[in-house]
Every structure is written in C-alpha cells, then in structure tokens.
Amino acid sequence: MNRYKIIIEYKGTNFVGWQKQDNGLSIQKVIEKSIKELTKEDVQIFGAGRTDAGVHALGQVAHFDLVKDFSVDSIRDGLNKYLRYYLISIIEASKVEDDFHARFSAKKREYLYKIINRRAPLTVDRNLAWVLHKQLDIKKMQDAAVFFIGQHNLNAFRSVNCQSKTTIKTIDKIEIISKQNTISIIVQAKSFLHSQVRIMVGTLVYVGEGKIDPNEILEIIKIAKRENAGPTAPAEGLYLTSVIY
C-alpha cells in the first residue's frame, strides 16, 4: 500500500462540515469521491480535525492509502481537477510512512478566528468573518486571553454535543492581533473540545464589550459551567490554519 498525505484548503460555507453525514455534503465525502474518480480505488480519508459546518481551512491535513503508486504531482493536480467546482483545493501532496496518521500523529493544531469590527455590514468577507458593530476593547481582550494559557479544565468552553472523554486541555498559545478593523485571534493546542475555540472567542468578545471583566476568566474556568462563559461565536469566522507534526 502507498500512504499519501494531503494539505487541504477549503471554504466551509456550503458544507455540513468535514465529516461524512447523512444530512448534506461534507468535505470528506467530496474528496473521497474525487480520489475514486482519479484512481478508480475506494478509499477512506482521515483528517486531522473535524471542522464543523461553515468552518474553513487553510491547512487541513488528511491521509489515505492506495494500492497503485501515483506521483505526488498526479495526486495534487488530479484531485484539484475534480475538486475545482467545490471550493476545495489540494495545496500539497506527499508520500508518508505507513505509521503516519493525520489525526493521531499531530502534535499541535492552530486555529484562527477572524472578526471584522466596524459599523458597516460585510461584502467581500461575508461568510468569512464575524462582523461586530460595537467597538471592542482589544487591550482588555488581550489581558483576558492570557488566563487561557496552560492546562485547565475547559468544561465551560465546550458544547453540549462534545463527546470528549476529558475536559482537561492545554492551550500552548493564544494571541490577539488588531490591524485596522480586523481582529485575528490565534489559538494553538494539541487538541480541542467541540466548539472550544468558538466559545473562547465569544467569551473574549464579551470582555471586549465590557460584559465580562478580564480577571473573571479564571473564575469561569474554575467553576467549569457552560452558562458562565460567553456565547458560541459563529462558524464563519473560524479557520483551521495548520497542523504541526
């Protein structure tokens, strides 16, 4: 067998998410279909992260096995021929060892959340960012973000649909960058709870709006109840930017 690793970019707006589901079109399903068209082999692909409906990716990673041997250029260009109608693109393809696994071999995952902070509605960035009309206090958001760094029980920051066996997670990096009216929130960790980044962002927005004091973040983490955290930020602002191995 030949194992291939692919790096994928996609716009998640019209998909039910990464994972195959009965209720609509998924990124996983479209890529598997394209592999079948190209190679005439039935395969299952394994992704590094199961992005939700509406969530985008700049550096999603997946792997799959083929009986036949294809050049990496043929994999990349051939798949892009079939994917061009779906706003999915294979940025890079490479051969990897048999023990490589896109999900379980990953050491860190990095997400970006994009906020446009302005009075006017979105046009070019529609479905690609969360527009907030009230001016946010970036300094307070940055002060609050520091409290997420390290290992914590993040039960307050997971959705009711989360199936993770543990709520103990380690945040390696969280950075908030403001440039003109664009706010970028970058979060890096080995793994995440379901909707964790979006709830963290919603909570930081509450801080920026003055509804939560920056110092309250530690208490919210300690109490570990979902109702004490902020809202779940919309899916359209979230991007899986990279996976580190």
Tokens 């003109």 belong to: 180
| CA–CA distance, 46 with 27 (Å, rounded to integer) | 11
Please give the helix or strand (H or E) that residue 95 lies within, else none: strand 88-96
End-to-end CA distance of the chain: 22
Distance CA 184, CA 140 (A): 15
Cα gap 27→87, rounded to integer Å: 10
The helix/strand/coil state of 29 is: helix
Cβ atoms of 117 and 77 closer than 8 Å: no
What's the rounded Cα separation, in Å, for the pair 52 and 13? 10
Q: Are 215 and 223 in contact (CB under 8 A)?
A: no
Q: Give the pair of three-digit tokens for residue 206.
A: 């509450």
Residue 52 is a catalytic residue = yes
Q: Please pick, among 22, 52, 65, 77, the residue that the annotation labels catalytic.
A: 52
Q: Smallest Cα–Cα separation from 43: which of 63, 23, 14, 59?
A: 63
- By annotation, the residues acting in catalysis are 52
